[in-house]
Amino acid sequence: MVCEMETDQIEEMDVEVLSSMWPDDVGTQADNQFNVEKPAGDSDTLKEVDIAEKRTMADLKRLPELLNTTDQGSSQLTNLVRQWEYMQDHAVRLLREELKILTRQREEAEAKELKIIEEHNFETEEPESVPVLDETSHLFRRFRQKKRDELVDSKRVVIDEEFDTVAYWKQKALSLEKMLEASTERERRLIEKLNESLKTMESHSAPVEELTQNLKRAEGFLHFILQNAPIVMGHQDKDLRYLFIYNKFPSLREQDILGKTGVEIFHGGGVKESEDFKREVLEKGKASKREITFETELFGSKTFLIYVEPVYNKAREKIGINYMGMEVTDQVRKREKMAKLREDNAVRKAMESELTKTIHITEETMRAKQMLATMSHEIRSPLSGVVGMAEILSTTKLDKEQRQLLNVMISSGDLVLQLINDILDLSKVESGVMKLEATKFRPREVVKHVLQTAAASLKKDLTLEGNIADEVPILVVGDVLRIRQILTNLISNAIKFTHRGKVGIKLKVISEPSFASDKEQNETSVWICCDVYDTGIGIPENALPCLFKKYMQASADHARKYGGTGLGLAICKQLVELMGGQLTVTSQVNLGSTFTFILPYKVATSDDHSDDQDEFSDMVDHHQPEPDDTTEGYFQFKALLGSIYSNGGPVMGSNFLPHKAMLTSPIKLINGSVADPSNSSGQSQTVQVENGGYMDESESAHQYGNGNGHRCSYKESESCSSSQASSEMESELTVSSPREEEKTETEVKETSQPKILLVEDNKINIMVAKSMMKQLGYTMDIANNGVEAINAVKDTSYDLVLMDVCMPVMDGLKATRLIRSYEESGNWDAAIEAGVDIKTSESEQGCERSTDRLPIVAMTANTLAESSEECYANGMDSFISKPVTLQKLKECLQQYLQ
């Protein structure tokens, strides 16, 4: 309802100009204008009001009858009569009052006369001696009165003559006569006036005329009020036939309406309803209101607020209805609009609050994830310290029991590290922090490398094989780091659950899968399907669905038996999906499982080695690659248990990074640092790979438990010649010869004091780090930002750079990238391009060093932005988390300065 609307909206509506209820241009024929009376010509208040049209029509025969028979009609007449009577009463009262005044005046006059006579008597008694006249003559008395009047008016009749003389009396008689005349005159006037009054009284006594005028006035007033109002009024008899209508629709004529029912006049929606409503009122005998919307051909869609009251005759019988309709179309429309707006508003508000809630939840989740990542990082740093120390401890002389305890400690530590790394990876993918790199790489090499790595730590009698179809491109572009991570994860998973038989990787090119989005497809793109298969225990079908879920393993039994975090596969799946691919699994219990992932790669257009950015470039460049190295399609590796000592061949420690540091760092070997009693025979090639305690595979820890310094070895299968393999492995895992030579030179020159550069902007950190270095017996140079670092590296040949990540001017990541680019290209073009002011006096040794890789260790704070992954991705070799401690620094120096 309108009244429910808010106040301001009502106001808004009030100021709006009302459109006329009926259209203006519809018929104005004369017969539509039914005049009940002539325009009011008389001097009433409405005479200046222009009563333009009177759209009234009435059944003239019936109307007076109606007025006479109905209550309302008779009351109206009664009213008029009463009013007239009142006015007549008033006039009579006025006349009476006037009459009263006149009577009083007459009485006064008589009283005066009496007084005069009395006075005269008195005078007669005393000075007068003519009592005869005094008593009998009325006239005489009048004279006396006159005389007395004069006395009263202090116009005493002055009589000059002597008292009681003839002259005196004569005079007195004369003056009295005058007074009498005046009195007579007054009397005459009063009578005249009385007559006049009587005459006017007669003229006022026409009631009909008065009534007519009053009626006219009432009529005029009604017209004045109603002429522009959007109101239709009418009277209908008890059959609902119109007897009277005011302000009807202009195009309808009298004969169209009078004597007809609404249904007969109009057609369309609402007509029936209004008819029913009227009938209802008639039946119930109670006036009521209703809002009805009409949909008629005649005047379209209009809403009326209709008031209907029953009409009774004097015998209290219903004889029809009066009805009044007010057009409220605009109001209704506005009201509906308002309601709709309010509804919309409510919906929007609800949606808004829902959205806010969602945003809030999302923010909370993100914060929680970031928190998790930060926490993981915080835990990882000290834990790697613990594991690293434990490993160093394991190289010292220990008895059997101590060694066992230590082994448990290391493997537990490794497990926790693995878990934390997994969590970090997961939360990074989920929070969208994980960025993919696009680098060129050789799929064959990746497969080979992954298998080699796995074989190196293999403790089971398994065959590891790699099979790459010929059509697989030699060089493709993708995020090799992540792909290696996936492969390593799947392979180690496969090995874990396989006790005999083989584990392998199969690569083949497939056509574009159906789930691929079209836009990413272009000519240089290729889809490679990678199967990682094993002949292991297999996965029961019911366990397959939750296989890729976080923290889930096929069964609690397996979890106990095989350990692991249950995160590995979840990460693989997420990574694959992040790269736009798909990871699936098929498996048969006791026969084996095959994990298949398909990924799109861009085919690298050029096979030019010089701009080859992939991780193996230094490895490949440092030795002459075998002619078929890039196209070799089949590899096989086998763990040959217990064969190390018998063949005296190359034996290597397998404790290197499986998929992180190893790819980015040339692995430094600490010759002879393994104080292994069983190895005291001086096998020069028995080495231990240090990796800053950054070990991901739990298997790698177990090697310590395999008896006294028992090392796993690998052996190339028949497909690769053993000489090839050994030379290759040598080149990968030992310091390449050019560097060795150079290093010796440097050592000689610098009297074996290694040159270290610290790049750090925080004074306090510099002070602390410098003191630590001093404590450890080293000195170092300081650069305050990336640009200074680049200049320092250009001018001096350093053995190690400790690089802060977050610095002003140029951060550590960029500086490292530029240094790496120099090492690859032999020039500082990239740095110059980046705006670094490089002094052009390039020394010869710079060119010499350009082939060498400078170890750069990041110093990171515990934030996502300074993640270890990013450090590796930017070409750093390792990282120390801040704050730097003596222990961490010592480990780092041991790793890189041997």
The residues binding another protein (CB under 8 A) are: 761-765, 767-768, 771-772, 774-775, 806, 808, 861, 882-886
- CB-nearer residue toward another protein: 101 or 371: 371
Residue 790 CB, nearest distance to another protein (Å)?
A: 20
Residue 374 CB, nearest distance to another protein (Å)?
A: 8
- CB-nearer residue toward another protein: 113 or 811: 811
Within 10 A of 521 (CB to CB), how many other CB atoms are there? 11
- CB-nearer residue toward another protein: 361 or 886: 886
- CB-nearer residue toward another protein: 668 or 882: 882
For residue 189, give every residue at least 6 positions away whose Cβ sits within 8 Å of its Cβ, in sequence order, or none: none
Residue 427 CB, nearest distance to another protein (Å)?
A: 16
d(CA 684, CA 682) in angstroms, rounded, equals 6
Residue 866 CB, nearest distance to another protein (Å)?
A: 10
Residue 693 CB, nearest distance to another protein (Å)?
A: 18
The answer to whether residues 570 and 548 touch, using CB atoms and an 8 Å cutoff, is yes
Residue 862 CB, nearest distance to another protein (Å)?
A: 8
- CB-nearer residue toward another protein: 103 or 771: 771
Residue 774 CB, nearest distance to another protein (Å)?
A: 7
Residue 376 CB, nearest distance to another protein (Å)?
A: 15
Task: Pick the closest to residue 683 from 670, 669, 672, 673 (CA basis).
Answer: 672
d(CA 280, CA 308) in angstroms, rounded, equals 10
The answer to whether residues 238 and 319 touch, using CB atoms and an 8 Å cutoff, is yes
Residue 595 CB, nearest distance to another protein (Å)?
A: 39
Q: How many CA atoms within 13 Å lie on the side-chain side of 182?
A: 14
Strand partners, 365: none
- CB-nearer residue toward another protein: 460 or 890: 890
- CB-nearer residue toward another protein: 214 or 370: 370
- CB-nearer residue toward another protein: 164 or 363: 363
- CB-nearer residue toward another protein: 327 or 811: 811
Task: Pick the closest to residue 868 from 694, 698, 699, 697 (CA basis).
Answer: 694
d(CA 444, CA 442) in angstroms, rounded, equals 5
Q: How would you classify the pairing of strands 288-296 and 268-269?
A: antiparallel
Residue 357 CB, nearest distance to another protein (Å)?
A: 19
Residue 372 CB, nearest distance to another protein (Å)?
A: 15
- CB-nearer residue toward another protein: 374 or 898: 374
Residue 660 CB, nearest distance to another protein (Å)?
A: 25
Task: Pick the closest to residue 794 from 737, 741, 751, 837 (CA basis).
Answer: 837
DSSP for 105-123 reads: HHHHHHHHHHHHHHHHHHH
Q: Could you give the C-alpha distances from 165 to 168, 390, 727, 780, 806, in angstroms and in order?
A: 5, 176, 192, 171, 155
- CB-nearer residue toward another protein: 66 or 892: 892
- CB-nearer residue toward another protein: 116 or 773: 773
- CB-nearer residue toward another protein: 491 or 884: 884
For residue 869, give every residue at least 6 positions away whose Cβ sits within 8 Å of its Cβ, in sequence order, or none: 428, 434, 481, 660
For residue 550, give every residue at least 6 positions away whose Cβ sits within 8 Å of its Cβ, in sequence order, or none: 426, 566, 567, 570
- CB-nearer residue toward another protein: 313 or 862: 862
Contacts 24+ apart (CB under 8 A), 874-878: 874/813, 874/814, 874/816, 874/817, 874/820, 875/664, 875/816, 875/817, 875/819, 875/820, 876/664, 876/803, 876/812, 876/813, 876/816, 877/661, 877/664, 877/665, 877/666, 878/661, 878/665, 878/691, 878/692, 878/694
**What totals of helices (H) and strands (E) does the chain contain, helices first?**
29, 23
- CB-nearer residue toward another protein: 2 or 768: 768
Q: How would you classify the pairing of strands 634-639 and 714-716?
A: antiparallel
- Per residue, what are the HEC states of 792-817? HHHHCCCCEEEEECCCCCCCHHHHHH
Residue 378 CB, nearest distance to another protein (Å)?
A: 10
Summarize the chain as % helix, strand, coil (round to 5).
50, 15, 35
- CB-nearer residue toward another protein: 490 or 889: 889
Instruction: Please name the amino acid found at residue 353.
Output: S
Residue 804 CB, nearest distance to another protein (Å)?
A: 8
Q: Which uninterrupted H or E stretch holds 714?
A: strand 714-716
The string over 92-128, giving b where at least 16 C-beta atoms fall within 10 Å of a residue's C-beta and e elsewhere, is: eeeeeeeeeeeeeeeeebeebbebbbebbbebbeeeb
Q: Which two tokens stand for residue 68?
A: 């006479």
Residue 580 CB, nearest distance to another protein (Å)?
A: 29
Residue 793 CB, nearest distance to another protein (Å)?
A: 23
- CB-nearer residue toward another protein: 734 or 860: 860
| Angle subtended at Cα 389 by Cα 388 and Cα 393, rounded to the nearest 5 degrees | 120
- CB-nearer residue toward another protein: 598 or 871: 871
Task: Pick the closest to residue 831 from 871, 873, 787, 799 (CA basis).
Answer: 787
Task: Pick the closest to residue 489 from 510, 509, 503 (CA basis).
Answer: 503
The span from the first CA to the last CA of the chain, in angstroms, equals 92
Cα dihedral: 510, 516, 520, 522 (round 10):
30
| Angle subtended at Cα 445 by Cα 443 and Cα 451, rounded to the nearest 5 degrees | 105
Residue 11 CB, nearest distance to another protein (Å)?
A: 40
DSSP structural state of residue 787:
H
The answer to whether residues 495 and 458 touch, using CB atoms and an 8 Å cutoff, is yes
d(CA 291, CA 270) in angstroms, rounded, equals 10
Residue 684 CB, nearest distance to another protein (Å)?
A: 37
